[in-house]
Amino acid sequence: MTDLTSLGYPPGYHLGFSALLWWIFIIVMIILGIDLYLNAKKSDLINVKEMLRAKSLLYICVSIQFSLIQVIVFFPNYFVQVFIPQAFLFSLSITYYFYVWEKNLTSIKRIPTISAGISNIVILIGLIISIFFPDLVDVLWETIVLSTFLLVLIASVLYIYLIYTFSSKVKGGKITIVGGIWIGGMILVLVGNFLENRPAVSILPDFITYYIPPIFFMLGYTMAFYGISRLFTHISSYYAYTQKCAVHRGIIEKGNTIHYCSSCGIVYCELCFNQVIMKDGCWNCRKRFEPESEKKQLDEPILELKEAEEPKKNLIKKGKQ
């Protein structure tokens, strides 16, 4: 078995005032996760609902992850055996969140999802070894931790790029203040991850590794919460800008007929509109379409942006489809 000091962590790591900061961070994450879930239930925008649910799951999993870390501090001989399962939970939630992002918004050939997914495989191998071959854990520890950290780091950096892409496109090519806050929050999370892991713990003063990571995590995830809450109301503008059908999420090629919602500006291809939207109404704002609905030929490379407005409930009466 391996204890914390043999892994390079100083005695008393995550104890005392440091532990208090971590528990405050955990409580904040639980509150933000619950709030995101409640907002997802209240949202009438189906794509926003998906994203908020995914973010809520991520926040809850992060809170569980760090709760386990605080608990295993008191059982250092089992640190590795408990660390690997909670790392798998964290990496799995990140993979799901990236998948929802790339499915709903833009994709860099699925690189963030693939990177985080590979880290799951690495951690799963480590989990199997820790259960059936515990004596080999010490030998593989550095490989598991380093490879997982690098894969999640790559995915997180590309996630920041996705935030930049989304934030700039919903505002006509300019990065917004809200988008900048969101990106700044994720940078703080990355720095906190570095300070919380080796080799930072081995080379930096105890004061920094004890007290700075939970503060950075708390600020970073709160800033990300602010960004995701404010920008997702503009998701229909993103679909219009990128000319993506909101149903099958594919690009509508130039020259094809598109249908757009006059209420929120979201667009649909001809096939999805006739087979789905005419029956269900707009997937984004729930507006019902008349047979002679708004449509146009996609001749220009970029559609005019329309700001997504918060839908007003119960204002659209049921009538002819």
User: How crowded is residue 58: how many other Cβ atoms within 10 Å of its Cβ?
Assistant: 22
Cα–Cα dist 9/31, whole Å = 30
All structural domains of the chain with their residue ranges: 5-237, 245-321
Residue 178 one-letter amino acid: V
pLDDT tens digits, 95-150 = 999 999 888 777 778 889 999 899 888 888 888 887 787 777 666 777 777 788 78
Whether 180 shows a pLDDT value over 70: the answer reads yes
Q: Token pair of 180, please?
A: 């900048």
Is the Cα dihedral 278, 287, 235, 299 positive or negative?
Answer: positive
Which residue's structure tokens are 């908020």? 52
With a CB cutoff of 8 Å and minimum separation 6, the contacts of 189 are 156, 216, 217, 220, 221, 224
Q: What is the structure's pLDDT at 217? A: 94
pLDDT above 90 covers what percent of the chain? Answer: 21
pLDDT above 70 covers what percent of the chain? Answer: 81
pLDDT tier at 309, thresholds 50, 70, 90: very low
pLDDT tier at 165, thresholds 50, 70, 90: confident
Q: What is the structure's pLDDT at 6? A: 57
What average pLDDT does this structure show over 209-222? 91
* Arch. (CATH architecture) of 5-237: Up-down Bundle (1.20)
Residue 166 one-letter amino acid: F
DSSP H helices, 197-311, are 200-203, 206-231, 235-242, 270-272, 278-280
Could you tell me which residue, 10 or 46, shows the higher pLDDT?
A: 46
Could you tell me which residue, 32 or 270, shows the higher pLDDT?
A: 32
Cα–Cα dist 99/310, whole Å = 25
Asked whether the beta carbons of 119 and 84 are under 8 A apart, the reply is no
pLDDT tens digits, 31-83 = 999 999 999 988 777 778 888 999 999 999 999 988 988 887 777 777 777 77
Could you tell me which residue, 212 or 85, shows the higher pLDDT?
A: 212
Q: Token pair of 298, please?
A: 């996609």
What average pLDDT does this structure show over 197-211? 77
pTM: 0.77
Whether 174 shows a pLDDT value over 70: the answer reads no
* Distance (Å) of CA 182 to CA 18, 215, 219, 290: 26, 16, 11, 39
Q: What per-residue string of b and e applies to 116-126 under the rule 16 or more CB within 10 Å gives b?
A: bbbbbebbeeb
What average pLDDT does this structure show over 159-164? 89
Could you tell me which residue, 210 or 2, shows the higher pLDDT?
A: 210
Q: What is the structure's pLDDT at 305? A: 38
pLDDT tier at 11, thresholds 50, 70, 90: low
